[in-house]
Chains A and B, each alone.
Chain A
């Protein structure tokens, strides 16, 4: 069973629909204790990093403990950013810290402004630095749907990199923890393939 964590950051209808489409069994637990029996956890979310404050020490402890015993973890959009150490969008609020670095605004320092509109909305291409579980079977430059203003840095665990004025992590993966900045549930066949890759691996 997959736990879809509903912490009030955006609407889950699309994610639920996509999980159903790939044949996943999921539930939306209301308390962190329920994560103990889950084989995988999905942290979705759109909106402000501040929304992740709801994922308090109890949720974080439960998610960490689930991952330590071998459960898979998948973050989508804000849910992926939360896997990093934090974000300039909500200074002082820590992320889960699985990946090093902090998320920064697309037009903000240290990148300066440019001819790039923010938010970054629409279809942009993925570049894969190496092989990964979640991106397997996808051609270089596959396009997926993004909508966000903050980006996570490129790290050694980046499974996909996208360029929009700056290079940022479009996907990260380390062991059974993965995350994507884009919306696989809104990215047509490519997006469903990525979710299916993940489901098959867990």
Chain B
């Protein structure tokens, strides 16, 4: 049976994890490679590096971060944030990423999805959608939630799929950082509209939130950052919780 995936997100700026951590025993709590190694030992299924810096120097630093994380883990690795061109994607993949996540660039130039899918395969192209409840629907925002696009999230997910996306990384802007639970309604609306896997993101606070998004939310995977960084609870405890709810996980 296909397992539901638990994905850890490392929000990186200038080579450091910016949301911070309080793991004991790490020489440098903000080091992405050490954090990735820790998650790997704890049974994480996949790692996403979200690097929001976009200067040239930062892009070189990003390649260094990807390389350092990839050296630590033999797991799927996705890189997002500031992937604007084929060259950006190529640099990330050369450095060791298996997948790239496109957000703003895909909205501005949807053909980028198709070009990257043709070059690397659809499995390497994730389209990230940041959505907010507005006007009775879920509307898409670009540029880390700052640009309102008036596009409907379900409709954009369908288009992205048609253009060659292999997965959708769906973040609820309303829930992000609140720890009040994933937006299951949003997740189910998108998941039931596309034939490709949907990764739910935004709002993880408790183990119950994960079981909810895998059942009511119809998510294929769930992503979280700060719950893993700050909580005493671990990825493996989360998975035992999910298994106790008859949700298939990799233990």
- Of B25-33, B91-99, B174-182, the one contacting chain A is B91-99
Q: For chain B residues 103-154, which have a beta carbon within 8 Å of chain A?
A: 120-124
CB pair B75–A121 under 8 Å, yes or no, is: no
CB pair B196–A119 under 8 Å, yes or no, is: yes
CB neighbours of A187 from chain B (8 A): 74
For residue B87, CB closer than 8 A to chain A, the reply is no
CB pair B124–A188 under 8 Å, yes or no, is: no
Q: A21-B74, A121-B123 are in contact. Are A14 and B3 (CB under 8 A)?
A: no
Taken residue by residue from 37 to 74, chain B's Cβ proximity to chain A (1 for < 8 Å, 0 otherwise) reads as: 00010000100000000000000000000000011011
CB pair B166–A123 under 8 Å, yes or no, is: no
The smallest C-beta distance from A127 to any residue of chain B, in angstroms, reads 11
CB pair A119–B166 under 8 Å, yes or no, is: yes
CB pair B3–A118 under 8 Å, yes or no, is: no
CB neighbours of A163 from chain B (8 A): 1
For residue B162, CB closer than 8 A to chain A, the reply is no
Q: B93: which of A13, A21, A48, A118 is its contact (CB, 8 Å)?
A: A13
For residue A125, CB closer than 8 A to chain B, the reply is yes
CB neighbours of A14 from chain B (8 A): 70, 74, 96, 98
Q: For chain B residues 6-40, which have a beta carbon within 8 Å of chain A?
A: 40
Q: B2: which of A11, A46, A148, A164 is its contact (CB, 8 Å)?
A: A164
A191 and B1 CA atoms in complex are apart in Å by 18
A156 and B70 CA atoms in complex are apart in Å by 37
CB pair B3–A122 under 8 Å, yes or no, is: yes
CB pair B1–A122 under 8 Å, yes or no, is: no
A17 and B197 CA atoms in complex are apart in Å by 27
Besides A11-B124, A46-B120, A122-B4, 13 other A-B contacts (C-beta < 8 A): A10-B124, A14-B74, A17-B74, A116-B2, A117-B195, A119-B196, A122-B45, A122-B221, A124-B3, A147-B76, A163-B1, A186-B75, A189-B74
What are 7 A-B interface contacts by the 8 Å CB criterion? A14-B74, A17-B96, A107-B195, A117-B220, A121-B197, A124-B2, A145-B75
The 3 A-B pairs of least Cβ separation, nearest first, read A47-B121, A147-B123, A123-B250
